[in-house]
A and B are shown apart, each in its own frame.
Chain A
Amino acid sequence: MTASAVIFYLLALLTLGSALLAVTSRHIFRSAIYLLFSLIGMAGFYFWLQFEFIAAVQIVVYAGGIAVLIIFSVFLTQKSGELLPPQKGSRKFFSALAAFCGFALCMLQIVKHSFPLDDHDFGGPRVADIGQQMLSIDDKGYALPFEVVSILLLAAMIGCIVIAMKSGSRQEAIGSENASK
């Protein structure tokens, strides 16, 4: 077994093990930390596949951004040290059964299907190529989706601020309405 294979199986162990713990742990804070490890394992897979740019984006956006956001929201909404209520055994069993059946079905299809594998090893894309193709406006360019995603991000940002804003004036209005009643 080569070093590359050893690294692959270690990454698989890290990713799948911490993902399993993330969905089963009853401490919500621990579960968030396990999710963070799982995301870092995914970034490791991208490094292993030589997609360094995607791995960097994964670490910056997921491990650095989303995981911290989730941990913050855990702090804001959970009483510390409190366990999540235990699940019903039947619900756990049937969920596991459904997930396992879906997994078995997908794996059967994947194993039966033979993908047209390409053996050329280009050693991962260059960041300059990614940038050029993403912003080019010819047939293979991704300029339009890029612009759409940038507008989506702007809209999501404004939407977040509007949703999470303390609606002081509205609450005051409701309060004065109740008082007048």
Chain B
Amino acid sequence: MNTPGLYHILFISTALFFIGVYGFFTRRNLITILMSIELILNSVCLNFIAFNKYVWPEKLDGVFFTLFIIAIAAAEAALAIAIIINLYRSHNTIDVNAAEEMKY
């Protein structure tokens, strides 16, 4: 339990990433899959900020990458939810097993 530094933050972001991966593997509901993807994107943002802070503190590139990731994540979430609501209208469920018409 020493003072937290880069390695502690990398541990947390890696743990968050693989918690998201676990959710992505186990969930069968589209909204919960989307939530797992949000966790994964967040862990990447934390990584960028930690490297920016501890390795190149005089630069700002990590900040810009994080801002762009947040913007793209917002666009992705909005689109995904539009698709999910459309799927619910046509199939009356949002289970991934129900959405297999384009599989073959």
A interface list, Cβ under 8 A from B: 1-2, 4-5, 8-9, 12, 15-16, 19-20, 22-24, 28, 31-32, 35, 38-39, 42, 45-46, 49-51, 53-54, 57-58, 61-62, 65-66, 69-70, 72-74, 76-78, 84-85, 87, 91-92, 94-96, 98-100, 102-103, 106-107, 110-111, 115-118, 120-122, 124-125, 129-130, 133-134, 142, 145, 149, 152-153, 156-157, 159-161, 163-164
Contact = CB atoms under 8 A, between A and B. Distances in A.
A79 B29 CA distance: 13
A61 B74 contact: yes
B98 to A, nearest CB: 12
Interface of A is mostly: helix
Contacts of B53: 49-51, 124
A106 B55 contact: no
Interface size class of B (residues with CB under 8 A): 35 or more
Nearest to A152: B75
Given A35-B39, A145-B64, A163-B82, A5 B1 contact: yes
B26 to A, nearest CB: 5
Interface of B is mostly: helix
